[in-house]
Amino acid sequence: MSKPALGRGLGALLGETAPAAPAAAPATPPGGPAAADPRERVLQVAVDRIVPNPFQPRKDFPDAALEELTESIKAQGVLQPLVVRRRGEQWELIAGERRLRAARRAGLATVPVIEREVSDTEALELALIENLQRENLNPIEEALGFRQLIEQFNLRQEDAAQKVGKSRVAVANALRLLKLPDEVQALVRKGQLSAGHAKAILGLPTPEQQKLAANLILRDGLNVRQAEELVNRLLAGPTVTSSAKRPGRSAADRDVHLADVESRLQARLGTKVSLRYRQGRGVVEIRFFSDEELERLLELLGARGD
């Protein structure tokens, strides 16, 4: 069987132009009235008979936004039907999970739906495309949706981008976010770090450095430009200059120790640090690149004036 085309007639498939049935109409079993498309019917379905979509890429539903939609539904009802398919005595959701959750919060007994007779493959395609094109996914959810679309259907990035109306570069950049450590991805999902912050952090080569940068960005409230500057400084790495370098194993051991001390200072201060040491004496040089950063360092060192 040939693979169905993605994205065709998406507005009609998702119910943007189809009229809803009257609010009092009971749920209609298979074989009832049909819409113009022989595979499509508009029904009123009990909310407790609609089961979640197993292909839903969206995992986070901010409470404030959901409450706002709930209040709108209390006042106006569900204006745009959900999209479902029949699964025995229940309906499986394809698109419209936010509306379903808000309808339940609003205490609605039934919601308008468009029933689509689709295969598992088509259901997954519609769910992913509907979310990627129209829902306010966070950057990590969007990346996971792209990856699922690509892996499930063995698509190239170019193909996936075309299906959802985005550029290949946008898809590639989104997928790169999934290379971040789980801790950093969680911060992006929660909105504590933006996609711009995450892309800057990806410039660091190790998970440890990436987590360090994320923590410093949060601690100091850095914007994206400042985050990029932080990453550049961390990439510069330790620049230990020891005038105590002498041939032999002890000198090499001493240099390793100095590099470790410098690295720890750099991690603690969040900026480039140079350490020069000889026979118990030396200099610690702390770099800063703006007045704001100097103020931050003074506060961190407990030397900020009143």
Beta pairing class for 82-87 and 90-95 = antiparallel
Q: Are 143 and 177 in contact (CB under 8 A)?
A: yes
* Residues 108, 151 contacting (CB under 8 angstroms): no
Q: Residue 230 corresponds to which amino acid?
A: L
Q: How many residues does the chain have?
A: 306
Tokens of 273: 């640090």
Out of 40, 97, 262, 293, which one is annotated catalytic?
97
Alpha helices in 154-287 (DSSP H): 157-164, 168-176, 182-189, 195-201, 207-220, 224-236, 249-269
How many angstroms separate the most distant Cα atoms in the chain? 91
Tokens of 172: 């590639």
**110 conformational bin, left if phi > 0, alpha if psi -120 to 50, beta if neither:** beta
Judging by DSSP bridges, how do beta strands 281-286 and 273-278 pair with one another?
A: antiparallel
Q: Which residues contact 103 (CB under 8 A, 6 or more apart)?
A: 47, 73, 78, 111
Pairing state of beta strands 82-87 and 110-116? parallel
d(C-alpha 210, C-alpha 190), whole Å: 17
Our answer to whether residue 135 is catalytic in this structure is no
Q: What is the CA radius of gyration of the chain?
A: 28
The residue among 175, 141, 142 whose CA lies nearest residue 157 is: 175
> Which residues are known catalytic residues?
97
